[in-house]
Amino acid sequence: MVLPVFAQQLPEVQKVEPPNWWANHTINPVRLLVRGENFQNAKVVSKNNSLKVSNVKINLRGDYLFFDVGIAKNAKIGKYEFEISTAGGKTIVPFEISAPLDAKTNFQSVTNEDVIYLIMTDRFANGDAANDKDADRQNPRAWHGGDFKGITKNLSYLKELGVTAIWLTPWYDNSDDIINCDKPWCPMTSYHGYGAIDYYGVENHFGTLADLREMIAAAHRSGIKIIQDQVANHVGMRHPWKEKPPLDNWFPPFFQNRFNNSSLLSPNASKAEVENTLKGWFDFSLPDLNQEEPEVAKYEIQNALWWIGTTGISGIRQDTIQYMPRWFIRDWSNAILKQYPNFYMVGEVFEEDSAQTAFFQGGKIGWDGVDTNLPSVFDFKLWRTSQEVFTGKKPMRALRDVLKYDGLYGDASRVTVMTNNHDTDRFMSLPDATKEGAKLHVAFMLATRGIPQLYYGEEIAMIGGHDPDNRKDFSGGFSGDSANKFTKSGRTADEQEMFEETKAWIEIRKKFGALKNGKTIDLRYDENTYIFARQSGKETIVVGLNRANKSDFIQFDAKILGFTARKVVCRPEGGNSTVPLSNQGGVDGTINLSLPPQTAIAYECSEAR
């Protein structure tokens, strides 16, 4: 009997990740992951002396190949090739050494000088009808057509408002499939971007990589930085890895995450509970990545750096960050900060608990011996409390009762304070919401410590309940819209009032370093008022928030703020305040400030000469 002999088929390369890299980068060698067929027993050689191949690894199915590429310092910019040879033949892996982007205009960190504006790309403005595949604006879970060109077109609106950074929901390529089911949320699509099918691809509904880079360059010319939304915890169901993972342990086996998130904070949690929270899948449609596999960790860290190097972005918002091991957050942060010191990364730790959000910010070693080095986290506790306070559900002193825990943070001044986001109900749709409350809420977020982040449409008092109702199209961004809210003439009086209040507080914040970087000193916190100073060097700003429908005033000893002169003058800067300029000072060391009803006001106080 003669056993049949199967000749090995020709090796075939389908995808190279990353497709390019840079010489003199802090990551060297870079590790390539090549997807294809028939890689069994492959040998890989570099066809150019500037690039060296090592550590070749092939998975059991022979459809994924890993190898290190050492890049010579003097490697020239241009196209390169690696040759793969097997018993079945030879093929080429294309690669490129790219020119680095200009560091003078790119990779600018997002700091306390900035005001961030969150845009859901699909819902902001449609600048290119050619990419509107299957768009259906009647279905809140379908693609609506918004894209990079739509953002580029409306940069002047953002500039007028005064924001200096845009956080865009994920632009990785997601599946174009329309999911049908018998549930009320079907048919649905991946318009939101949180189900990557290609970590190196750009969503075709938003444009091409070239469109993205053009949008970023245009934003930079307008003085606006870009923050990418990255999702390293999980991929989308239609990612090719789902059916054929590069390694057997690429994803933990499916088990449902019970979201016992506090197990991540507690030193007393069982290993099993922590394991469920870190490795459990959000649901069957979101395969959870296993960062304990070094190839996964390496892939994700390189991917983050590839996007920064390729697009010139200034920051990263990392989705659902707490569901990844803290040592991975540290390694990821360290790798980015090594290449781009001072880079801004903000983690989503969706917990209304300062102890838990603080645990994930860097600058402090946790009980587990890990300092994540993560520059920023969102302050979900302050966000919720501010909503509750300014819709009348909690006393004003509740704001101070959140901020009193600032010592838990590695650096509370770099926490990202959010007015709202795409996962939460819009302010004007909260029970008992009023225009006055919305104005106080945004003023407080722009005056308190941290880096403020706004959500598109809140500046014109848009309404919207639970997801996806909170993700409505920005009126004026799509053809056929009855009103163009990007212009004053398209806005109602109330919308214009909200726009002006937001813009005014952004301007006040820009004017005073103390509001951006100063320390906070509480002056009064009670049922209806919260008054605090922000102080930096010789600059003192007193912020007064009065939610009552009658005037109030505060009188205090100027020494509390370190003044020694007998006369201190405080000049009002507040939003739409009508407080007269006179009689706001103090003599004999006393400061008297009036607090108009339902108003946020800022006073600049200084010693009279």
DSSP code of 368?
T
323 binds Ca ion (CB under 5 A): yes
| Binding map of Ca ion across residues 121-160, x = CB under 5 A, - = no contact | -----x-x--xx------------x-x-------------
Q: Which stretch binds Ca ion (CB under 5 A): 22-30, 31-39, 200-208, 363-371?
A: 200-208
Shortest Å distance, C-beta 244 to Ca ion? 19
**Among 523, 544, 529, 532, CA closest to 396:** 529
Shortest Å distance, C-beta 282 to Ca ion? 9
487 binds Ca ion (CB under 5 A): no
* Burial (CB count within 10 angstroms: exposed 0-12, middle 13-18, buried 19+), residue 605: buried
Nearer to Ca ion, 48 or 175 (CB): 175
Rounded CA separation 237/234 (Å): 9
277 binds Ca ion (CB under 5 A): no
Shortest Å distance, C-beta 559 to Ca ion? 52
Nearer to Ca ion, 368 or 494 (CB): 368
Give residues with Cβ within 8 angstroms of 130, minimum separation 6: none
233 binds Ca ion (CB under 5 A): yes
176 binds Ca ion (CB under 5 A): yes
Q: Which stretch binds Ca ion (CB under 5 A): 281-289, 419-427, 513-521, 529-537?
A: 281-289
Binding residues for Ca ion, total number by CB under 5 A = 12
End-to-end CA distance of the chain: 109
Provide the sign of the torsion angle of the four alpha carbons 32, 37, 41, 42, taken in this order: negative
Nearer to Ca ion, 96 or 275 (CB): 275
**Among 343, 513, 515, 417, CA closest to 116:** 417
Nearer to Ca ion, 40 or 320 (CB): 320
CB atoms near residue 588 (< 10 Å)? 8
| Binding map of Ca ion across residues 431-470, x = CB under 5 A, - = no contact | ----------------------------------------
CB atoms near residue 13 (< 10 Å)? 17
Shortest Å distance, C-beta 9 to Ca ion? 30
Nearer to Ca ion, 178 or 554 (CB): 178
276 binds Ca ion (CB under 5 A): no
Among 14, 24, 41, 204, binds Ca ion (CB under 5 A): 204
Residue type, 462: M
**Positions 337 through 366 that interact with Ca ion (CB under 5 A):** none
Shortest Å distance, C-beta 133 to Ca ion? 8
* Burial (CB count within 10 angstroms: exposed 0-12, middle 13-18, buried 19+), residue 25: middle
189 binds Ca ion (CB under 5 A): no
Nearer to Ca ion, 299 or 323 (CB): 323
Among 17, 63, 122, 173, binds Ca ion (CB under 5 A): 173
Nearer to Ca ion, 145 or 468 (CB): 145
Nearer to Ca ion, 135 or 335 (CB): 135
Q: Which stretch binds Ca ion (CB under 5 A): 178-186, 267-275, 319-327, 528-536?
A: 319-327
Beta carbons of 479 and 416 less than 8 angstroms apart: no
**Among 123, 146, 215, CA closest to 456:** 123
Beta carbons of 151 and 126 less than 8 angstroms apart: no
Strand runs labelled E in 150-273: 165-168, 172-174, 196-202, 225-230
Shortest Å distance, C-beta 150 to Ca ion? 7
Residue type, 489: S
Nearer to Ca ion, 131 or 528 (CB): 131
Nearer to Ca ion, 82 or 124 (CB): 124
Backbone angles phi, psi at 277, to 5 degrees: -75, -35
Nearer to Ca ion, 287 or 585 (CB): 287
Residue in the block written with tokens 């990392």:
318
Provide the sign of the torsion angle of the four alpha carbons 507, 512, 518, 524, taken in this order: negative
Rounded CA separation 66/246 (Å): 9
Beta carbons of 328 and 291 less than 8 angstroms apart: yes
CA atoms within 13 A on the CB side of 212: 25
Q: Which stretch binds Ca ion (CB under 5 A): 160-168, 233-241, 435-443, 457-465?
A: 233-241
117 binds Ca ion (CB under 5 A): no
Nearer to Ca ion, 18 or 252 (CB): 252
Beta carbons of 445 and 416 less than 8 angstroms apart: no
Instruction: Give the residues lining the site for Ca ion (CB under 5 A).
Output: 126, 128, 131-132, 145, 147, 173, 176, 204, 233, 288, 323
